[in-house]
Amino acid sequence: MSEGTPPSLPEGVERREIGGRERLATRGEPVYGEPTDGPWRAWDPSRSKLGAMLELGMDTGLEGDETVLYLGAASGTTVSHVADFSGPTYAVEFAPRPTRDLLEAAASRPRLFPLLKDARKPETYAHVVESDVDVVVQDVATRGQADVATRNRQFLAEDGRLLLAVKARSEDVTADPDAVFDRVREELEESYEVLEVRRLDAYHVDHLGVVARPRVV
């Protein structure tokens, strides 16, 4: 990729005109009332941190067909898009109510595997999730977001990627977001090499997108 050229989208993600404007889109059954065009469903970056990272041109390293561990799947808004273009996608969600919606999203997606588990306790799903996954996507609104990423590093292949959305207010609602981001990044760098960071405020206020890879121990 030449300098100044935006990173390519993963195979299975396209920019298509839906509802009168160009949008990111994947092929699959709609999940959250998103606009569609035939088999294509719009991927709303204002409802998806990963969608925002792609929309803003971050180099996620996603190519399509990767094995994915998704932490903080909620009701399936983003992870359903991920499962539309990826390989096996393990979706971890702690709360029972959104997990019921996640199960509905998975009904038409044979590669999407919902897990009612706590992302802070990876030992509870280590027997299910295969080792050497290609990508960990993390969108967990909790204190200790770097710690969650560190605990789940065990699942990543050596050349895998962590795609992390840091929510400043979940770490410390009273602190300056930049200070929070600096602290989370410092903690994260004990286990990961940070490749790219970008504020996601255009779509998600006080959020930071992070692309990282595991440090070789």
Q: How many domains does the chain have?
A: 1
Q: Does 118 carry a binding-site annotation? A: yes
Query: 147 is written with which tokens?
Result: 């710690």
Per-residue model confidence as pLDDT tens digits over 26-56: 999 999 999 999 999 999 999 999 999 999 9
Q: Does 78 carry a binding-site annotation? A: yes
Mean pLDDT of the chain: 96
Residue 2 lies in a domain: no
Q: Does 140 carry a binding-site annotation? A: yes
Angle between helix 77-85 and 96-107 (nearest 10): 30
* pLDDT score for 124: 98
pTM: 0.95
Q: Within 13 Å and on the Cβ side, how many CA atoms surround 205? A: 3
Instruction: For residue 106, give the 3-state DSSP assignment.
Output: helix
Residue 90 lies in a domain: yes
* pLDDT score for 194: 98
* pLDDT score for 100: 96
* Residue with the two structure tokens 């998806």: 48
What's the domain range around 117?
Answer: 44-214
Q: Within 13 Å and on the Cβ side, how many CA atoms surround 187? A: 17
Q: What is the mean pLDDT of residues 77-85?
A: 98
- CATH, residue 112: 3.40.50.150
* Residue with the two structure tokens 């998600």: 204
Contact between 166 and 157 (Cβ < 8 Å) = no
* pLDDT score for 216: 83
Residue 1 lies in a domain: no
Confidence of residue 3 (pLDDT cuts 50, 70, 90): low
Q: Does 139 carry a binding-site annotation? A: yes
* Residue with the two structure tokens 């207010």: 169
Instruction: For residue 102, give the 3-state DSSP assignment.
Output: helix
CA proximity to 213, closest of 126, 141, 135, 138: 135
Residue 11 lies in a domain: no
Element (H, E) at 140: none
Q: Does 77 carry a binding-site annotation? A: yes
Element (H, E) at 159: strand 156-167
Residue 176 lies in a domain: yes
Residue 179 lies in a domain: yes
For strands 156-167 and 192-199, give the pairing: unpaired
Q: Does 180 carry a binding-site annotation? A: no
Distance, in Å, from the CA atom of 178 to the CA atom of 202, rounded to the nearest integer, reads: 16
Confidence of residue 176 (pLDDT cuts 50, 70, 90): very high
CA proximity to 137, closest of 182, 79, 195, 56: 79
Query: 78 is written with which tokens?
Result: 């983003």
* pLDDT score for 131: 87
Residue 158 lies in a domain: yes
* pLDDT score for 4: 60
